Amino acid sequence: MIEIAEVRKRFGRHEVLKGVSLSVAKGEVVVILGPSGSGKSTLLRSINGLETIEGGSIVVDGVRVHDGRETLHQVRQLTGMVFQQFNLFPHRTVIQNITMAPIHVQKKPRTEAEEIARVLLGKVGLPDKAEAYPSKLSGGQQQRVAIARALAMSPKVMLFDEPTSALDPELIKEVLDVMKDLAKDGMTMIVVTHEIGFAKEVADKVVFIDDGVKIEEATADRFFSHPTQERTKLFLSKILL
Amino acid sequence: MYKLNFAVLTEYWPALLAGLQMTVKVSVLSIFFGTLMGVAGALAKTSRFRALRALAFTYVEWIRNTPLLIQILFIYFGLGVFFSLSPMVASVFALSFFSGAYITEIIRAGIQSIHKGQREAALSLGMTEGQSMFLVVLPQAVRRILPPLAGQFITLIKDSSLISVIAVSDLTYVAKNIVTTTFRAFEVWLAIAVFYFVLSFALSWSVRSLEYRLAKSD
């Protein structure tokens, strides 16, 4: 579903990604771990072209990402993205947030888009919040709306960029539960997160990135029980109690 | 001694109303075209094309660093050498260009005050740059810049009094004529000030109620 090959990226003099490769199969849930500044968010953001790359290639469902405006547009319709800061549109109600792209990008009739939106709101557990403005919702609720908004475009892949990092601890679970359901339904997901519990429970594969390099890649079981690299062991020893 | 006599106002009431009408007409047209100039200027200023940014920069700096009166005289008499513009068309031109430069800066600041995550969210949903600007960024920016924008519109209404120098029969021009024939300077200029006040105050009041209505999503 996704082929990332030897991707390089620099911000000025600083090389953030030093030739990272990764492939993700259909229906697979991949969790990317790594210290802050390791390049994991940048890697995720280059999958839907929010970041340009200087070398290598990324192909999503047969479409090359960094290959001009047309393919970029295609890729963005194949991928949904959920951000750390939710990024809901504050001037629109929940249902308008969810229906905006289906109406303006996919040219769906409003009634059809709203029907889909209501189903998705039910799925993320917020059926009664359709007419609310984002500012009236808790962080966890906002993030669940953001997930519904991304799903409304029926993406083949969902990208999560630290989706729970801006949330109060007691709101994290409601978001992770929605993500677990999504994984169960067979969605292909790439998740940058610090939630080790989620990685252990849901991930098919865990990737550890540090300083722009992929240090280790393994099934979740192996990754946490038998890490092979010293750097990985050190990282795990710091975050696991 | 000078004896106040406000009867002059009733006597010249139709002329005053015609002047008021002209001021309103020129102001409304200039606010409309000035806002269009401002949106275009702001898009150019935040564009990824260097030439557009340079063009917008030149426009804004030229307008902001020369007197409006000179701009009006230049457009009417200066450009009048090549094209014959009616005084009213020249006025709308001058006032639109003038306010457009300030509105450019107001809108640019508004656009840049919107968190970049908003644009990224829009793009990641498959929207084009244009859709992300007009559906997501600008509507939020406009709300934020309503107060300075209203201030600019009010400035424009007041500055429109300058067009009387090219014989547009606006409020100020009409007043000058009435004073010349009646010598009722105090009464007439006081009345004119009240007219401008009512116009400006009504505008700022309606913008404030618009702001209040838009605040419902907070």
pLDDT (0 to 100) of residue B211: 85
ipTM at complex level: 0.91
Which residues does chain B have within 8 Å of residue A105's beta carbon, measured at their own beta carbons? 125-127, 131
pLDDT (0 to 100) of residue B99: 96
pLDDT (0 to 100) of residue B109: 94
Cβ within 8 Å of residue A140, ≥6 positions away: A167, A168, A171, A172, A174, A175
How, if at all, do strands A188-192 and A157-161 pair?
A: parallel
pLDDT (0 to 100) of residue A69: 84
**Alpha carbon of B72 to those of B23, B90, B101, B161: distances in Å?**
15, 7, 15, 11
Query: One-letter amino acid identity for B95?
Result: L
The beta-carbon neighbor of B126 closest among A90, A134, A153 is: A153
Which residues does chain A have within 8 Å of residue B124's beta carbon, measured at their own beta carbons? 48, 50, 76, 79-81, 150
pLDDT (0 to 100) of residue A93: 94
Which residues does chain B have within 8 Å of residue A73's beta carbon, measured at their own beta carbons? 126, 128
Residue B110 lies in a domain: yes
pLDDT (0 to 100) of residue B80: 87
The beta-carbon neighbor of B126 closest among A87, A101, A146 is: A101
Contact residues of B toward A, CB < 8 A:
115, 117-118, 120-128, 131, 135-136, 139-140, 143, 216-218
DSSP for residue A135: G
Q: What are phi and psi of A64, to 5 degrees?
A: -75, 130
pLDDT digits (tens, 9 = 90+) for B22-63: 999 999 999 999 999 999 999 999 888 999 999 999 999 999
The beta-carbon neighbor of B217 closest among A77, A83, A135 is: A135
pTM of the model: 0.83
Among positive and negative, which fits the CA dihedral A89, A93, A98, A102?
negative
Residue B22 lies in a domain: yes
Q: How far apart are CA A22 and CA B38, in angstroms?
A: 47
Q: Average model confidence (pLDDT) for chain B?
A: 92
Question: By percentage, how much of chain B surpasses pLDDT 90?
Answer: 78
Residue B1 lies in a domain: no
Exposure string over B120-141, b if 16+ CB within 10 A, otherwise e: bbbbbbbbbeebbbebbbbbbb
Cβ distance of A77 and B216 shorter than 8 Å: no
pLDDT (0 to 100) of residue B217: 63
Exposure string over A3-23, b if 16+ CB within 10 A, otherwise e: ebeebebeeeeebbbbebebe
Given pLDDT bands bounded at 50, 70 and 90, which one contains residue B84?
A: confident
CA distance A134 to chain B (A): 8
The beta-carbon neighbor of B131 closest among A77, A90, A104 is: A104
Q: How far apart are CA A49 and CA B120, in angstroms?
A: 10
Among chain A residues, CA nearest to B217: A133
Residue B93, pLDDT > 90, answer: yes
Residue B136, pLDDT > 80, answer: yes
Given pLDDT bands bounded at 50, 70 and 90, which one contains residue B218?
A: low
Q: How far apart are CA A116 and CA B218, in angstroms?
A: 26
pLDDT (0 to 100) of residue A37: 84
pLDDT (0 to 100) of residue A86: 94
Q: Which of B123, B124, B216 to mutate to test the interface with A (most CBs of A within 10 A)?
A: B124
Q: How far apart are CA A187 and CA B13, in angstroms?
A: 75
Among chain A residues, CA nearest to B134: A104
Q: How far apart are CA B144 and CA B138, in angstroms?
A: 10
Print pLDDT tens along chain A (241 aa).
899 989 899 988 888 999 899 999 999 999 999 888 888 999 999 999 999 899 888 999 988 888 888 888 889 999 999 999 999 999 999 999 999 999 999 999 999 999 999 999 999 999 999 999 999 999 999 999 999 999 999 999 999 999 999 999 889 999 999 999 999 999 999 999 988 889 988 999 999 999 988 999 989 888 988 888 889 888 888 877 6
Q: How far apart are CA A90 and CA A206, in angstroms?
A: 34
Given pLDDT bands bounded at 50, 70 and 90, which one contains residue B216?
A: low
Q: What are phi and psi of B190, to 5 degrees?
A: -65, -45
The beta-carbon neighbor of A104 closest among B118, B127, B217 is: B127
CA distance B150 to chain A (A): 20
CATH number of domain containing B141: 1.10.3720.10
Cβ distance of A73 and B126 shorter than 8 Å: yes
Among positive and negative, which fits the CA dihedral A86, A89, A91, A96?
negative
pLDDT (0 to 100) of residue A149: 95
pLDDT (0 to 100) of residue A139: 92
Instruction: Give the max Cα distance, chain B.
Output: 76
Residue B93 lies in a domain: yes
pLDDT digits (tens, 9 = 90+) for B150-173: 999 999 999 999 999 998 889 999
DSSP three-state, residue B183: coil
Q: How far apart are CA A150 and CA A83, in angstroms?
A: 10
Using alpha carbons, select from A57, A51, A41, A20 the residue that is nearest to residue A212: A20
CA distance A83 to chain B (A): 8
Structural domain that includes position B204:
7-215
Residues, chain A = 241
DSSP calls for A76-114: HHHEEEE-TT----TTS-HHHHHHHHHHHTS---HHHHH
pLDDT (0 to 100) of residue A150: 95
Exposure string over B160-177, b if 16+ CB within 10 A, otherwise e: bbbbbebebbbbbbbbeb
Q: How far apart are CA B107 and CA B155, in angstroms?
A: 16
How many domains does chain B contain in total?
1
Q: What are phi and psi of A60, to 5 degrees?
A: -115, 115
